Every structure is written in structure tokens, then in C-alpha cells.
Amino acid sequence: MNTHPNDWHGRRVLVTGAEGFIGSTLVDLLVERGARVRALVHYKPYAERGYLARYLASGEVEMQAGDVRDAGRVQDAVEGCDTVFHLAALIGIPYSYLSPEAYVQTNVVGTQNVAAACLRHGARLVHTSTSEVYGTAITAPITEHHPLQPQSPYSASKIGADMAALAYWHSFELPVTVVRPFNTYGPRQSARAVIPTILAQLHSGAREIRLGSLTPTRDFTYVTDTAEGFLAAAAAERAYGEVLNLGTGTEISIGALAASLIAATNSDAEVVVDPTRLRPGGSEVERLLSDNTKARNLTGWHPRTPLPEGLHRTSTWVAANLEAFAPGRYQV
């Protein structure tokens, strides 16, 4: 029997990677709905908490510093929680070319540690995947049965992490759901991603917008829609042991996206392909387009934010936070 995704009052929840883009948005929704949230955040000696800083004074979120590679620390963090949203991961694709072992340790071993802790403490696990595991679409729209193609060390590590999480369902009946967001965007996203990269350059007055390949298409989902998908997945017993795509079912090329943002900001900038931003040939994912039928059927979730509306909100946020970006630098 499913429970309502808004029914979180009094429940103890752990969010790993809670200070990040999607993680902090998810924390906000959980707090609004009455959950008792514990946040496992990556240890920093200067105690910076990113987008969770506002909770330090209010005490609405319990902060625990740690690292998902540390099994003992993860066990401590999970204890007493009934649901764990596991978002902690290394996510930058370009950096995975430089440091693939770090991705295996954080994404695969870290997920194993989280799943083991959930099993020990009787917690429900919602594990975060990525549409990058599909690689370039062989058939579209992409269902959860699409072959997995490790076209980067990052995607390979996430495939391994997904399998580690699902193994705990098959082997130990741990209630696990793997949510597979397509390209999430919105306020708080870093310049590592394409939409804030374009907007930061436009709002800084650049006449040339430097990008990688313009032909790939992506399925962009607004961040609050993605976070709502996590909550819906956690509330649905029918989703135990399942993988769920969280995407809109629409696609746009990077070139068309850039042109749309240039027009929306009343700029006359031109797009220039920067060779340093191109992926290796066999690593570029040319097409990602989701089929979200399974998520709709099992959880009732569906995206609500049209792309133009989401881009407007994101543009406003980037403009107001431009000092946080370095528009001329390629952020890996």
C-alpha cells in the first residue's frame, strides 16, 4: 500500500549529499512537510554548509559531517532513521576522466556502505542514479529496460552503484528504489552544468558563449520536480526493487537551448564551440529522452514545471548570484 508523498510529519530521515543542488532542495521540501531531517554533509574544516547554512541557527536540520566512504560513520548517520535518501556522489563527468578511482570509491563503495547501514538499521533506501548510465539512446524515449552503456568513468561508477543498491533488494529484501533523474536544472546548480554555464556567461555580458558540442539533446527537469520524484518514490511500496526514470519526456538540443536563453536575456551573443569543453568522441552522449511512464504508474509522480518557466526562474537566480560564478572559466 502506498503512502502519501506529503506525509512526513515526525519521521526521521537521512539525506546524504544534503548540501548539494538537489540534496538541499529535497531537504527544504522535507522540512516544510514536517520531517525530522538529518543531513550527512562532506566534512570541511571551515564548516561551510552551502545551501543548508540557514538551518544552522534554526536547528531544524541535524548536521553530521562525514564521508560515505567511511562505513562506520555511515552506520552512525543511518541509525534511528526510517528513510535514507542517498544523493552523495562525485558527479562531474570531465573530472571522472582525471580521477576515475575516486569515483569508484565514492559512488560504488559509498553506496555499498549506505545500503549495508540501511539493512542493519531497518531503513528504506532511495538511491540516486543518473540518466548518463544509458549512454546515447539506442531507442527513444528511454525506458528503464534500455541497455546500460558506460560511456564515461562517471557513468560506469553510477552503474556499479545502482547494481550495488539493487543487490540488497534481491539478496536481503532491503526496500530499495533507484531513482534515475534526467538532466536536472534550477537555482543552486553549479557552473559545472550547461544551463548555469550559459546563463552566467550571458549575465556577465559575454559576446561569445563558449560551449562544448551543440548537437546532443537532453531532457531537462526542474529541480523541485526531481525532488518531488524522490518523495513519491519513497512513499510507494510498489516501487521496492524498481528503477524509476524522472524526466519530462521532452528533449532539446544544447544549441537550441543556448539560442533560447540568448533570446530570453535579450542578448546578441554568439555561440562558439570550445574544443576544451568537448568530451572524447566515444564518451559523448548524443541523446537522452526519458520515458517516465513507470514512475507515473507506480508513484503518481509527474513533472509540473514547463521548461520556459524553469529557465526563467533559473536565469533570475543566476543573475542574482553572479558573484558565485566564474563565467570565463571551464568548470570541470
CATH number at residue 22: 3.40.50.720
Cα separation of 23 and 13, whole Å? 13
pLDDT bucket at 258, cuts 50 / 70 / 90:
very high
CB contact set of 101 (below 8 Å; sequence gap of 6+): none
The sign of the torsion formed by the CA atoms of 149, 153, 155, 158 equals positive
Indicate the helix (H) or strand (E) that contains 73.
helix 71-78
- Mean pLDDT over 165-182 rounds to 98
Would you say 109 and 161 are in contact if contact means Cβ atoms under 8 Å apart? Answer: no
- Cα 281–Cα 311–Cα 30 angle in degrees, nearest 5: 100
> All 3 cell numbers of residue 58?
534554526
pLDDT recorded at residue 101 = 98
Q: How is residue 80 annotated by DSSP?
A: T
Single-letter amino acid, residue 301: W
**Average pLDDT of the chain to the nearest whole number:** 94
Would you say 260 and 311 are in contact if contact means Cβ atoms under 8 Å apart? Answer: yes
**Is 42 contained in some domain?**
yes
**Is 135 contained in some domain?**
yes
- Mean pLDDT over 199-214 rounds to 93
Single-letter amino acid, residue 305: T
The more confident residue out of 199 and 7 is: 199
Cα separation of 322 and 101, whole Å? 33
Task: Render pLDDT for 53-73 as a digit per residue (tens, 0 to 9).
Answer: 889 888 899 999 999 999 999
Q: Residue 236: pLDDT above 70?
A: yes
pTM of the model: 0.94
Cα separation of 74 and 65, whole Å? 10
Task: Render pLDDT for 297-316 as a digit per residue (tens, 0 to 9).
Answer: 999 999 999 999 999 999 99
Cα separation of 259 and 269, whole Å? 9
pLDDT recorded at residue 209 = 93
145: closest CA among 134, 154, 156, 136?
134
pLDDT recorded at residue 49 = 64
Cα separation of 268 and 50, whole Å? 34
**Is 86 contained in some domain?**
yes
E-only strand ranges, 120-232: 124-128, 176-181, 183-185, 208-211, 217-218, 220-222
* In the chain, % of residues over pLDDT 70: 96
**Is 87 contained in some domain?**
yes
Task: Render pLDDT for 103-120 as a digit per residue (tens, 0 to 9).
Answer: 999 999 999 999 999 999
Alpha-carbon 70 to chain mean position: 22
pLDDT recorded at residue 332 = 46
**Is 203 contained in some domain?**
no
Residue tagged 531513482 (cell numbers): 179
Cα separation of 219 and 105, whole Å? 28
Phi then psi dihedrals of residue 90, to 5 deg: -85, 130
pLDDT recorded at residue 56 = 82
CA dihedral of 17, 22, 23, 27, whole degrees rounded to 10: 180
Task: Render pLDDT for 14-28 as a digit per residue (tens, 0 to 9).
Answer: 999 999 999 999 999
Cα separation of 326 and 317, whole Å? 15
**Is 315 contained in some domain?**
no
**Is 23 contained in some domain?**
yes
Domain extent at residue 44: 12-188+220-248+291-300
Cα separation of 296 and 229, whole Å? 10
> All 3 cell numbers of residue 95?
573530472
Lowest mean pLDDT: which of 191-195, 226-230, 265-269? 191-195
Tell me if residue 239 falls in helix, strand or coil.
helix
Would you say 16 and 87 are in contact if contact means Cβ atoms under 8 Å apart? Answer: yes
**Is 328 contained in some domain?**
no
Q: How many domains does the chain have?
A: 1
Q: Residue 331: pLDDT above 60?
A: no
pLDDT recorded at residue 330 = 52
- Mean pLDDT over 237-248 rounds to 98
